[in-house]
Each structure stands twice: as C-alpha cells, then as structure tokens.
Amino acid sequence: EDASGARVFDLEIQSGTTALKDGAETETWGINGAFLGPTIRAKRGEEVAFAVRNSLDEGTSIHWHGMHLPAVMDGGPHQEVAPGGDWAPQWTVDQPAATLWYHPHPHGRTAKHVYRGLAGMFIVDDDTSEGLPLPSEYGVDDLPMIVQDRKFNGDNQFDDQGAFMSMQGFLGDEITVNGTLGPYFDVSTRLVRLRLLNGSLSRLYNFGFSDGRAFSLVATDGGLLPESWETDSLQLSPGERAEIVVAFEPGETVVLRSLPADEGYSGPLGRFNGADDELDLCEFRAAATLADETAVPESMGTAPDLADAEVAEERSFKLAGFSQINGESMDPQRIDFGVREGTVEVWEVMNNDGFMHNFHVHDVQFQVLAVDGGEPPERLRGWKDTVQLVPQREYRLAMRFEDYTDPNLPYMYHCHILAHEDAGMMGQFVVL
C-alpha cells in the first residue's frame, strides 16, 4: 500500500531467455521475469497503483484489456513508456468479477511485443464471485490458461513470419500454455475452473476435449453469466476470454484441444488461416481420488440489461481489407468521434472481408444485442469486450459510457487480430 491507501504493484518489463524447445534457450520478453507476466488480482472497490518500468531498449506500453478506467490510464498507443522510462497508472477497480488481461499496445508493434511474451492475466473479484461455490483455489482447481501459438526457427528462436497464404498473418504450429510447451496438469479435484485466454496474434481456437465431453461455460469477457451453459466446444478469437468448469473422473487422462473451427471463414480461405487445424493444448491427469467440494451454482452473475435502454446514438463500422474501418486506417492524430458520458450507444459492426476479423472496444463491456437480426448464440449472451466477426454478418453491440470524460485522450476500438491492428484496423473515440 502507498500513502493514499492504493495497493501498489511493481511491474518491470524486461528481456531474457527461457528454456523452451528441447531445453534450448529462446530469447523472450516478460514482466517481472523472462517470459509472460504475473497474474494480477484485485477486488472491486479496491484502488490499484502500478509502478511500471520499461527495461527494454524500445518503447512499449501496458494496456489493461477489458478494464473500465480513465483514458489516461488505459495504456494504449498514447501512453507509450520510453526505453528506461517509468509509468504510474492508478485507478479504482469498479466492475464485476471477471478474467481480464494486460498486454502492450505500442502503435504498429503490438504483435511483436505480445509474441515475444508480454502478456498476463488480471483477475477481478467481487463479493458475488467470492460467495459462490465455484472452484476458486488458484493453481489448484482454478487455473489461468494463456493459450498462444508459436513457431521456432532452426536456432530455437521465435519465428514470426506470416503463414503461407494467410490473411491473418502469423500462425504457429506449437502451443504454449502459460509459457510452457507440452503442458500437463495434475487434477486433484472433481471440478476444475479454467480461465481461458486466447493470447495469440491471429489464431482462432475451438476449445474442446479429446473425448468430446461437455463442460460448463460460466463467464465470458466481462464476467459471470447469470446461468451456466453446457457445451462441448467453445470458439475464442484473439483477445477473448472465457471461464469454463470441467468435471473429471478419478484416474483418467483427458486432453484439452483446439478442434477445427465451427465458423468464421468463407470457402477455402479457412484452411490457410488455421480453421482446419487440430492442436493439443494441455493434458489433464486426474488423481486416483478427487476432492469434491465445489459446484456450478444455479445463478451466478447479472444478465446484460441494455436491450431496452434508451439509445443516444447508433454508429456503423465496416471492417475491410486488412487495415481499414469505414475506409480509414488508424491515425493517432485523428479522433474519430466523441460519445456522451452516461449514454448508451448501439454500434453495428460488420466484417466485409471473406476471412476472420474481430472487434474490441476499450473501456466498456458490451452486450451483443443481435447477430444478423436474430438472437446471438449462447456463447455471446454475457458481457463481452471482444467479439468474433463472421464474414458478412451484422453484429449489433450495445454499450454504456459511464464516466471518465476526457476531450483529448482517446480510447481505441479495433480488430484484435494483431497483424490487422498493427496495419491500422483501429480507430479512436473520446468520452465527452
């Protein structure tokens, strides 16, 4: 704690090496270590303060993905930290319990920085989440899983070349979970909660198990669902998170996989963008006896409530050609529009290309009101800050801009396929 009562976290962004493939040392970047960053955890109502130091020899930033906070604390391209420089953001956490994450956001270089290893989880707790019987012992029955694809060159260094014929840029053939290749987990409880984060540059994952078992989706980007939803596969595009609860039998071994994608591409483009790939992500090895003290409760979070809200403004966003939204690429000097504090807006978002994009908005969580005029699929019914855009479908997103006006400093909205974001598929808005 500092004098103001805020909880202080020291974060040093640094470079180093990590033993990855066949034990060889790979050059990696990390936060408070050589590879990836620590899980940050705070409770709603708590004031958090960060002492960020950039020990790299190039500028970078730390953006708090999914967090509601003042634009000056957002860590986007306008808050770059110079090499050797410091940054001290501070805010009060005020949003429901959720699995958020943090990663760099320097203009045009986000893909490189995330790929090298700058990413971590940010877990928000609240009274509701702490009172539920869900598995919640960190590292025991409540696991963060930062899922990333990587590729190694002959010298066992990260290769970041775009994939053959890919419209999305990089696609790796090896998976790291929390920075580990070939990971496994020793299961000691019947129910395990997995906090899944697609922390990849461009790969879509369709999470499922080797035996096709069902699991419960309990939370999406912005927090707990009102009720869990049973499924045997769950698609997450880059930047999206989900919390799932899986049941295990004593003594069994099951593999969490990425299955071929259900949707997201038109025609043969899918194959060159990884849609047909099947990848093993993590092996779960259950002990001979499993503790059984947790449950998936009947009711959990609160349902998004913007369907009947008074709408102050409707806007339309068309993503096309790798690098443009509404015909323009990102220009840090151009503010695209201002939204009014305290109002609800509906944004109609459409992917006009034949390959995948997604759409992320800073500062807010949105409700997916409709997809192509119909009810959104179950997996999109909770609060979201990033949504996959299947080509040629129209997504209606409702969001409320509560507070934190700033006429000069913008928040971003963009495609979270990082090659597209870096190429300029991003815009900026201010809250007035």
Residues 46-105 that bind ligand C2O (CB under 6 A): 63, 65, 103, 105
The single-letter code of the amino acid at 147 is V
Provide, rounded to whole angstroms, the least separation between the CB of residue 14 and Cu ion: 23
Is 137 exposed, middle or buried (CB count within 10 Å of its CB: 0-12, 13-18, 19+)?
Answer: middle
Q: What is the contact mask toward Cu ion in residues 47 to 76, using x (rule: CB under 5 A)?
A: ------------------x-----------
Task: Outline where DSSP puts E strands in 292-408.
Answer: 311-320, 324-325, 337-339, 343-351, 357-361, 367-371, 386-389, 394-401
Q: How far apart are CA 296 and CA 405, in angstroms?
A: 39
Q: How far apart are CA 242 and CA 346, in angstroms?
A: 24
Bridge pairing between strands 191-198 and 180-181:
unpaired
Contact 120, 102 (CB under 8 A): yes
Contact 2, 49 (CB under 8 A): yes
Which listed residue (248, 420, 428, 430) binds Cu ion by CB under 5 A? 420
Can you read off the two tokens belonging to residue 414?
Answer: 């963009």
Q: Buried b / exposed e across 376-395, counting CB within 10 Å, b at 16+?
A: beebbbbbbbbbbbbbeeeb
Which listed residue (360, 379, 384, 396) binds ligand C2O by CB under 6 A? 360
Can you read off the two tokens belonging to residue 422?
Answer: 């870096």
Residues 97-136 that bind Cu ion (CB under 5 A): none
Provide, rounded to whole angstroms, the least separation between the CB of residue 427 and ligand C2O: 11
Please, which residues have CB within 8 angstroms of residue 256's CB and are 6 or more apart in sequence?
194, 207, 208, 209, 210, 280, 281, 282, 283, 284
Provide, rounded to whole angstroms, the least separation between the CB of residue 260 and Cu ion: 20
Strand partners, 426: 414
Taking CB within 5 to 8 Å according to partner kind, which of Cu ion, ligand C2O, none is near residue 254?
none
Location of structure tokens 């408070």: 32
Can you read off the two tokens belonging to residue 114?
Answer: 């995330």
Return the number of the residue (63 or 381) whose C-beta is nearest ligand C2O: 63
Taking CB within 5 to 8 Å according to partner kind, which of Cu ion, ligand C2O, none is near residue 201?
none
User: Taking CB under 5 A as the rule, does residue 417 contact Cu ion?
Assistant: yes
Which listed residue (56, 163, 412, 425) binds ligand C2O by CB under 6 A? 412
Contact 397, 309 (CB under 8 A): no
Please, which residues have CB within 8 angstroms of residue 375's CB and are 6 or more apart in sequence?
none
User: What long-range pairs does 229-232 form, CB within 8 A, spacing at least 24?
Assistant: 229/378, 229/379, 229/381, 231/378, 231/379, 232/208
Tell me the residue number closest to ligand C2O, measured at CB: 65
User: Taking CB under 6 A as the rule, does residue 427 contact ligand C2O?
Assistant: no
Provide, rounded to whole angstroms, the least separation between the CB of residue 316 and ligand C2O: 20
Return the number of the residue (234 or 417) whose C-beta is nearest ligand C2O: 417
Residues 207-266 that bind ligand C2O (CB under 6 A): 239
Provide, rounded to whole angstroms, the least separation between the CB of residue 71 and Cu ion: 12
Provide, rounded to whole angstroms, the least separation between the CB of residue 43 and Cu ion: 21
User: Taking CB under 6 A as the rule, does residue 362 contact ligand C2O?
Assistant: yes
Residues 125-154 that bind ligand C2O (CB under 6 A): none
Residues 355-414 that bind Cu ion (CB under 5 A): 357, 362
Options 86-94, 119-127, 314-322, 408-416: segment touching ligand C2O (CB under 6 A): 408-416
Taking CB within 5 to 8 Å according to partner kind, which of ligand C2O, Cu ion, none is near residue 105?
ligand C2O
Taking CB within 5 to 8 Å according to partner kind, which of Cu ion, ligand C2O, none is near residue 239?
ligand C2O
CA angle (422 as vertex; 416, 425 as ends), nearest 5: 65
Return the number of the residue (239 or 427) whose C-beta is nearest ligand C2O: 239
Counting residues that bind ligand C2O (by CB under 6 A) gives 10
Taking CB within 5 to 8 Å according to partner kind, which of Cu ion, ligand C2O, none is near residue 113?
none
Q: How far apart are CA 323 and CA 274, in angstroms?
A: 20
From the list 202, 208, 360, 197, the residue with the least C-alpha distance to 273 is 202
Provide, rounded to whole angstroms, the least separation between the CB of residue 190 and Cu ion: 35
Binding residues for ligand C2O, rule: CB under 6 A, are 63, 65, 103, 105, 239, 360, 362, 412, 414, 416
Binding residues for Cu ion, rule: CB under 5 A, are 65, 357, 362, 415, 417, 420
